[in-house]
Every structure is written in C-alpha cells, then in structure tokens.
Amino acid sequence: MKTINNSPPSDVYIARLKGRGHRVTPKVRAVIELFLKRGCLLDPIEVQTQLQKRFKGIGLPTVYRVLDNLASCGILVIAASEDQKRRYYICRDIDAGHHHHFICRKCGKVEEVNLCLMEEVSKYVERHLKAKLEGHFLQMEGLCSNCNSS
C-alpha cells in the first residue's frame, strides 16, 4: 500500500533540489509548475515562451540551465526521440523508485508506469552475455486514452 502524501506536489521536488545543493529560485519553481500543469513533453523554446510571461527577457541559456539542473536531479527526464530534438517531461513520482513512463505520440502526454517487468530480460542478458546488468532505459510510446478514442 502506498501512503498518501498530502503535501503540495512541488514540495518533493523542492526537497530533492535542496538535498542536492541546488538553489530553488522563482524560475526553477515556475518551470516545475509549468511541467506539472501541462503534463506533457515540452521543448526548451516552449518553456522559454511560457516563462517570458513572468520573467521578461529570459534567455534560452538560462532556460537550458534550469532544465538541465532539474534533469540532473531526476525531476525532469530527457525523452529519447527519433528526430534528435530535445524534449523534457516531469516525473510525477520521483520517490517511487525504479519505474517507467508512457508518452503519447500524438499529444505528448506523459503518464507514470509504476511497474517494471524486465526481470526475465535481465536474467536472459546476464545468462547469455555472462554480464552483470546494472540498469536499463525503457520509453513506452503510443496513443493515450484520449487520443485513442478520438
């Protein structure tokens, strides 16, 4: 059973940032709030456009710095993409331990997948390669329930 966390969703992110020695500036908070509100993939230009409403003249280098700080803490994830364009999404459950995410190819919505069934694959790899497996990346893609029904 999961315990219910009553604190506002951004508190866990603030705690993680502080724990890793990052400064929690208004811009950092604004980026977290933006990703939580949108719940989908965002590229740095979109983030810059949204932030300019509150922080006039904010430059792309600043946006990248904030995004990469958040990514280094595991709060944002850089999505793998076929076009090599950089897009980020927020993990809504950073304290959940190892898990995966589902990305809608049509609308970019990102959902948590708190499940990993890679054990069999890992055993196979270790057995056949005589290797010691230390991790894996898995990005699931498809159509979200909305896009799938329209």
Residues that bind Zn ion (CB under 5 A): 91, 93, 104, 106-107, 109, 112, 116, 118, 144, 147
List the end-to-end C-alpha distance of the chain, in Å, as a whole number: 34
**Residue with token string 């390669």:** 129
Of 31 and 104, which CB lies nearer to Zn ion in the complex structure?
104
CB of 142 to Zn ion, least distance (A): 9
**Residue with token string 């724990």:** 19
Distance CA 102, CA 118 (A): 16
CB of 98 to Zn ion, least distance (A): 6
CB of 108 to Zn ion, least distance (A): 7
CB of 93 to Zn ion, least distance (A): 5
Of 12 and 107, which CB lies nearer to Zn ion in the complex structure?
107
Of 58 and 101, which CB lies nearer to Zn ion in the complex structure?
101
**Pairing mode, if any, of strands 100-104 and 139-142?**
parallel
Largest CA distance in the chain: 56
Of 49 and 145, which CB lies nearer to Zn ion in the complex structure?
145
**CB under 8 A, 24+ apart: contacts of 15-18:** 16/73, 16/74, 16/75, 16/94, 17/69, 17/70, 17/73, 17/75
CB of 146 to Zn ion, least distance (A): 5
Which amino acid is it at 37? K
Of 14 and 107, which CB lies nearer to Zn ion in the complex structure?
107
